[in-house]
Structure 1
Amino acid sequence: MESIWTLGSRGVAEHPSLSGEADADVAIVGAGITGLTAALPLAEAGFKVMVLEAGTVGSGVTGGSTGNLYATLASGQAPLRHKWGDEVAAEVVRARGEAVDHVEALVKRFSIDCQFQRQPAYRLVADERQHAGHDLNEELDALVSAGLEVEMTNAPGLPFDSWGLRIANQAQFNPLHYVQGLASALLGEGVVILQHSPVREIEAGKGRLRTDEGSVTAKHIVQATHTPKGISLVQAGMPVSREYAVSARLSSGEYPEGILWVLDPFHSLRSYRHGDDQYLMVIGEKHPTGEHRGDHYQLLREYLAARFDVEAFTHHWSAQQYTSPDGLPYIGRMHGHDNLYMATGFAADGLVWGTLAGMLIADQILERANPWQARFGARRITPGKSALQYAKENATVTKHMVKDYLGTEKLDSFDAIAPGQGRVATVEGEKLAIHRTEAGKLKVLSAVCPHMKCIVHWNASESTWDCPCHGSRFDTDGEVIEGPAYHPLARSGEKL
Structure 2
Amino acid sequence: MQAIWKIGDTEIEHYPALAGKREADVVVIGAGITGLTTALQLAEDGSRVIVLEALSVGEGCTGGSTGNLYSPLAKGLSAIRKKWGDDVSRDIVTSRIETIDFIEATIERFAIDCQFHRRPLYRLFTTADEVQAYELDEERKALLEAGLEVEDIEQHVLPFSPLQGLKINDQAQFNPLLYVQGLAKAVSAMGVTILEHSPVRDVDYKQGVVKTDTAAVTARHIVHATHTPKGVDLLQTGMLPSREYGVSAKLNGEAYPEGIFWMLDPFHSLRSYRYAGESYLMVIGEKHKTGEGKYDYYQRLREYLSQHFDVQEFCHQWSAQQYSSADGLPYIGRMHARDNVYVATGFAADGLTWGTLAGRIIADLIHGRDNTWHAHFDARRITPAKSAGGWVKENASVTKHLVQDYLATGKLKEFAELAPGEAKVATLDGEKLAIYRNESGELSVLSAVCPHMKCLVHWNANDTTWDCPCHGSRFDTRGDVIEGPAYHALERRDPPVDS
Q: Shorter chain as normaliser: what TM range?
A: over 0.9
Q: Calculate the TM-score normalised by the size of structure 1.
A: 0.98
Quote the residue 2:179 is aligned against.
178
Going from structure 1 to structure 2, the CA distance change for 1:151 and 1:339 (only over 3 Å counts) comes to same
SS state at 2:262 partner: strand
8 Å contact 1:330–1:376 — kept in the other structure? yes
Distance 2:219 2:278 in 1: 46
Question: Which sits farther off after the overlay, 445-454 or 120-129?
Answer: 120-129
Shift of 1:157: 4.3
Aligned to 1:329: 330
Q: Secondary structure at the match of 2:252?
A: strand
Deviation at 1:187, TM superposition (A): 1.1
**Residues 156, 257 of structure 1: 8 Å contact kept:** no
Task: Tell whether the 8 Å contact from 1:155 to 1:164 is kept in structure 2 after alignment.
Answer: no
Within 5 A, what are the aligned runs for 1:63-102?
63-102=63-102
Deviation at 1:154, TM superposition (A): 3.8
Amino acid of the residue matched to residue 450 of structure 1?
A: P
Structure-to-structure mapping, 1:194-233, within 5 angstroms? 194-233=195-234
Secondary structure of 1:287's match?
A: strand
One-letter amino acid of the structure 1 residue matched with residue 206 of structure 2? G
2:368 aligned residue: 367
Match of 2:235 in 1: 234
Report the CA distance between 1:130 and its aligned residue: 8.5
Q: Is the counterpart of residue 138 in structure 1 residue 143 in structure 2? A: no
Distance 1:145 1:30 in 2: 36
Which 5+ residue runs of structure 2 have no aligned equivalent? none
Unaligned runs of 5+ in 1: none
What letter is aligned with 2:150?
A: V
Rounded to whole Å, the distance in 2 between the matches of 1:433 and 1:130 is 48
**Which residue number corresponds to residue 258 of structure 1?**
259
The answer on whether the counterparts of 2:116 and 2:172 sit within 8 Å (CA) in structure 1 is yes
2: CA distance, partners of 1:343 / 1:11: 30
Would the aligned equivalents of 2:25 and 2:221 in 1 still touch at CA under 8 Å? yes
The code of the aligned residue for 1:29 comes to I
**2:50 alignment partner AA:** M
Residue identity opposite 2:412 in structure 1 = L
Partner residue of 1:268? 269
Shift of the alpha carbon at 1:129? 4.3
Tell me the distance in 2 between the aligned counterparts of 1:330 and 1:143. 23
> C-alpha displacement at 1:246, in angstroms?
0.5
**Aligned-partner Cα distance in 2 for 1:155–1:277:** 27
Which residues of 2 match residues 1-16 of structure 1 at below 5 A? 1-10=1-10, 12-16=12-16
How many Å separate the matches in 2 of 1:354 and 1:331? 9
State the Cα distance separating 1:16 from its structure 2 match: 2.1
In structure 1, the residue corresponding to 2:112 is in which secondary structure? coil
Indicate the SS of the match to 1:199: coil
Report the counterpart of residue 44 of structure 1 in structure 2. Answer: 44
Range with greater deviation from structure 2 (250-259 or 325-334): 250-259
The answer to which of 131-140 and 361-370 deviates more is 131-140
User: How far is the alpha carbon of 1:14 from its aligned partner?
Assistant: 1.9
TM-score (norm 2): 0.98
Per-residue CA deviation, residues 266-296 of structure 1 (Å, 9 max, x unaligned), is 0000000011110000000000000011100
Task: State the alpha-carbon separation in 2 of the partners of residues 434 and 231 from structure 1.
Answer: 26
Paired residue for 1:439? 440
Alignment of 1:447-462 (within 5 A): 447-462=448-463
- The question of whether the paired residues in 2 share the 8 Å contact of 1:11 and 1:57 is answered with no
Give the drift of 1:418: 1.1
Contact 2:125 2:132 in 1 (8 A): no
Distance 1:10 1:72 in 2: 33
Change (3 A) 1:280 1:124: same
Residue type of the alignment partner of 1:159: P
Residue in structure 2 matched with residue 61 of structure 1 by the alignment: 61
Q: Equivalents in 2 of 1:119, 1:63: separation in Å? A: 20
Partner in structure 2 of residue 149 of structure 1: 149
Give how far 1:12 is off: 4.0
Q: Which residue of 2 aligns with 1:169?
A: 170
Deviation larger for 400-409 or 10-19: 10-19
1:207-248 alpha-carbon deviations (Å, 9 max, x no partner)? 001001200000001000000000011101111100000000
Q: Which residue of 1 aligns with 2:413?
A: 412
Tell me the residue number matched to 1:116: 116
Establish whether residue 318 from structure 1 lines up as the match of residue 319 from structure 2. Answer: yes
Q: Which moved further from structure 2: 120-129 or 334-343?
A: 120-129
Q: Which amino acid aligns with 2:324?
A: T
> 1:322: how far off?
0.2
Provide Cα deviations, 1:433-489, integer angstroms capped at 9, x if missing partner: 001111111010000000000000000000000000000000000000000000000
Tell me if structure 1 keeps the 8 A contact 2:35–2:51: yes
Q: Return the alpha-carbon distance in structure 2 between the equivalents of residues 206 and 10 of structure 1.
A: 40
Change (3 A) 1:155 1:423: farther
Count of aligned pairs between the two proteins:
496
**Contact residue 41 and residue 359 of structure 2 kept, 8 A:** no
The one-letter amino acid paired with 1:406 is: L
CA RMSD of aligned residues (A): 1.2
Cα shift readout 1:279-322 (whole Å, capped 9, x = no counterpart): 00000000000001110000000000001000000000010000
Change (3 A) 1:267 1:130: farther
